[in-house]
Amino acid sequence: MKDNTSRLVLGSLLRRPNKPVLGDDTVCLDRSSLFENVRLQANLFLQSGLRPDDFVVLMCDRGLAFWSELLAAWVLGAKPICVEKNISDEHAASVVQMTSVSKIIGADETTTPEFKALERLPSSFDPNAEAGDLQSCFRDLPFVDDSELPDLAGLIFTSGTTGLPKGVPLTHRALNLNALSTAQRLQLRDSDRLLIATPFRFISSISHFLVTLLSGAAFFGVERTLMIKDLIDILNDRDISAFGGSPFHMQFIAMAGEHRLPKLRWAMSSGDHLRREVIEKLAGNFSNLELHVVYGMAELGGRFCELPPQYLSNKAGSVGFPINGFEITIRRDDGTTCDVGEVGNIYVSGQIGFEGYFRNTKANQKVLSSVGFLNGDMGYVDDEGFVFLSGRSDSVFKRSGLKVSAQIIADALMNLDEIHDVFCTSEENDFEGRVPVAYISWKNESEMDSGEISRTLRRFIPVNHIPARYVSLPEIPRTGSGKVDRRRLASLIEATKGSSKAEG
Amino acid sequence: MAVEESVRSILSSEFGLDSSSLETDAAIFSAGLLDSLNSLRLLMMLESQFGLSISPLDVSLDDVDSISKITETVNRLKD
């Protein structure tokens, strides 16, 4: 199926013009308003020279205009490159070099110099715009001819935990198939109002948007920083019945319970497995909450596994089984298939599949093979086909659903003159899933306190990579090959507990 | 002033913020200096430092988005 994702989504909303479809904590657009915004925006882009197959940078962190602009760019067959507003200069330069992009949507005075040379396209977002009639507005959309529709619907980027972020091609075909398969499994109702509080450029957000609209429901999204109380207030103020968030969010949804969230009937956790304690608390504090646990990746156009609500009690900790269009196999390092219950590398294949990172032969050689896409996670499948994750095959772990690389932290620490050697790992944390911990051996007497180390690290690595704890050790024990000797490390940690300045 | 000094000390020692140069009213979370995930650790630190009981369900961005707001929140909860 090669169909314009914009046509698929808008074509599913051709009735009930006054039904809410898109909102945040302050505004709410009905279908008529969304259609008119997409029509006006697509025509404005067309007049500004945006053409089929053009890459265009689409800046996020600007609110709901993002969705109207994304749909409008797709109408024209253009290929949005979704990036965060505070993208690093280095990443921005690589985007320009990789794609030869020449146009940008949503630039302002804070835009990185690397993007300032791009031609700025105008935005016409107006939450009060109204289409006269949905059918005729839809007919007036300047859809590119199918023959001119490129396979590529755009690019998003990996988190960059193992180097510079990699470009993940999104195709109309994969987005459509994934959204339709996911909608079938998630069973949102057309009366639902779904809220997300994650950056719109994430594949999880794009998948939520597509699935929600294809289900006939209304999508609400807030990108700004929210504390838990703010989130609860928005859920209630906007009459939200469905919430999509990370395991981090879910523990607070559980804590709030039905008495503080009386309208919530559906929740979806994604980003990592959901702990049994949180599942049990959700079940205990809500009388009838439909909870879905989902596993997804940008590389696969959205979701690829889901644990349906009826299996939560006896399969807690699992991410479920593949949605239509995907198959999963677990393989040993030599490529042979693992037995039931045996932990190995997760390979994903199937109709939706992943065809490789954008112009990145080196990365593709590592992850693509005849048996599918090696997705970097480790896990096993039980005797009923349910997938359980057991970590990453590299030094990456999830902190509150977001990837963190222990290697990036270790590299940043090794740049400090005072440090002789470092070992970074992660440990369980009640609220954040896993958090980074750094074990440090110092040169001479140059030990720093934890505040000084964090202040220095903040200049080089993302906030979520700052270790929760630093532990000073006389040495980082290593084997002859240079690997950390974990057995000796454990003894050393036990012997030096609480004795260092950096401890804490 | 004692509360504000303690708040600055927590932000510096636990989160690596250069709080000595941070204006009292400068945004912390909405400016991206800390993310919402850090808020929980901050609340736990405030509980421990000032002997308070703080539920994350009752704290909004407006309560913690600057040194002055955190100080006000702590003083309010202490009363």
Closest CB to B35: pick one of A86, A233, A463.
A463
Question: CA-to-CA distance for A125 and A127, rounded, in angstroms?
Answer: 7
Q: Which of B13, B15, B37 sits opposite A432 (nearest CB)?
A: B37
**B40/A contact by beta carbon, under 8 A:** yes
The CATH class that applies to domain A1-171 reads alpha beta
In the three-class reduction of DSSP (H, G, I as helix; E, B as strand; rest coil), residue A285 is classed as helix
pLDDT at A161 over 80: no
Spell out the residues 6+ positions from residue A109 whose beta carbon is closer than 8 angstroms to its own. Answer: none
DSSP one-letter string for A98-122: HH---EEES--TTS-HHHHTSEEEP
Task: Give the tokens for residue A9.
Answer: 């989504």
Q: Phi and psi (nearest 5°) for A279?
A: -60, -45
Mean predicted confidence (pLDDT) in A308-319: 92
For residue A395, CA distances in Å to A250, A299, A404, A428, A437 come to 25, 19, 8, 15, 12
A501 secondary structure, DSSP code: S
A294 three-state secondary structure: strand
What beta strand segments (E) does A188-228 contain? 193-196, 218-221
User: Which residue is listed with tokens 């609480």?
Assistant: A498
Q: Which of B13, B33, B40 sits opposite A451 (nearest CB)?
A: B13
Q: Over range A263-277, report the average pLDDT.
A: 90
Distance CA A504, CA B11 (A): 14
Mean per-residue pLDDT, A72-101: 95
The rounded distance, in Å, linking the Cα atoms of A193 and A242 is 6
ipTM of this complex: 0.93
The predicted-structure confidence for A369-406, as pLDDT tens digits, reads as follows 999 999 988 899 999 999 998 777 677 788 877 778 88
Q: In A370-418, where do the E strands start and end?
A: 372-381, 387-392, 396-399, 402-405
State how far residue A85 is from chain B, nearest Cα, in angstroms.
12
Query: Do A456 and A441 form a contact (C-beta atoms < 8 A)?
Result: no
Look at residue A269 in the predicted model and tell me its pLDDT. 94
Could you say which architecture CATH assigns to the domain B2-78?
A: Orthogonal Bundle (1.10)
CB contact under 8 A, A256 and B41: no
Q: Who contacts A328 (Cβ-Cβ below 8 Å, separation ≥6)?
A: A304, A305, A322, A346, A347, A348, A381, A387
Residue type, A235: L
The length of chain A, given as a count of residues: 504
Average model confidence (pLDDT) across chain B: 90
At the topology level, CATH places domain A396-495 in GMP Synthetase; Chain A, domain 3 (3.30.300)
Residues of chain A with CATH 3.40.50.980: 1-171
Q: Which residues of B fall within a CB distance of 8 Å from A252? A: 56-57
How close does chain A come to B58, measured CA to CA in Å? Answer: 5
Per-residue pLDDT at A1 exceeds 60: no
Task: Name the residue among B16, B57, B61 with its Cβ closest to that of A457.
Answer: B16
Collapsing DSSP states into helix, strand and coil, what is residue A193? Answer: strand
Q: What percent of chain A has pLDDT over 90?
A: 68
Q: Are the beta carbons of B37 and A455 separated by less than 8 Å? A: no
Span(s) in chain A for CATH 3.30.300.30 = 396-495
Q: What is the radius of gyration, based on Cα positions, of chain A?
A: 24
For residue B62, the distance in angstroms to the closest alpha carbon of chain A comes to 9
Taking residue B41's Cβ as centre, other Cβ atoms within 10 Å add up to 18
Over residues A233-243, mean pLDDT: 98
pLDDT range class, residue A248, cuts 50, 70, 90:
confident
Candidates A85, A88, A223, A227: best to mutate against B (most CBs of B within 10 A) is A227
Q: How far apart are CA A262 and CA A265, in angstroms?
A: 8
Cα–Cα distances in Å, from A130 out to A31, A70, A238?
9, 19, 21
Chain A, window 383-402: residues with a beta carbon less than 8 angstroms from a chain B beta carbon = 399-400
pLDDT of residue A271 exceeding 90 = no
List, for residues B52-66, the tens digit of each pLDDT value: 999 999 999 999 999
More confident residue, B20 or B51: B51
B:48-67 residues touching chain A, CB 8 A cutoff: 56-61, 63-64
Nearest C-alpha in B relative to A463: B34
Q: What are phi and psi for residue A225, nearest 5 degrees?
A: -65, 130
- Kindly give, in sequence order, each residue whose CB lies less than 8 Å from that of residue A261, ignoring residues fewer than 6 positions away: A232, A235, A236, A253, A286
Q: How many CA atoms lie within 13 A of A356 on its CB side?
A: 12
pLDDT-above-70 percentage for chain A: 96
Rounded to an integer, the average pLDDT of A175-182 is 96
| Angle CA B58–A402–A113, to nearest 5 | 100
A-B CB pairs within 8 A amount to 76
Q: Determine the distance in angstroms separating the CA of A227 from the nearest CA of chain B, rounded to an integer.
A: 5
| Assigned token pair, A371 | 């048996």
Given a contact cutoff of 8 angstroms between Cβ atoms, the answer to whether A220 and A188 are in contact is no
pLDDT at A499 over 60: no
CB A452 within 8 A of CB A485: no
Residue A446 is classified by DSSP as: -
Task: Please report the sign of the dihedral spanned by the C-alpha atoms of residue A397, residue A402, residue A408, residue A410.
Answer: negative
Q: Is the dihedral of CA A477, A479, A484, A487 positive or negative?
A: negative
What is the model's pLDDT at position A164? 76
| Segment (H or E) for A92 | helix A89-99
Homologous superfamily of the A225-394 domain (CATH): ANL, N-terminal domain (3.40.50.12780)
What average pLDDT does chain A have? 91
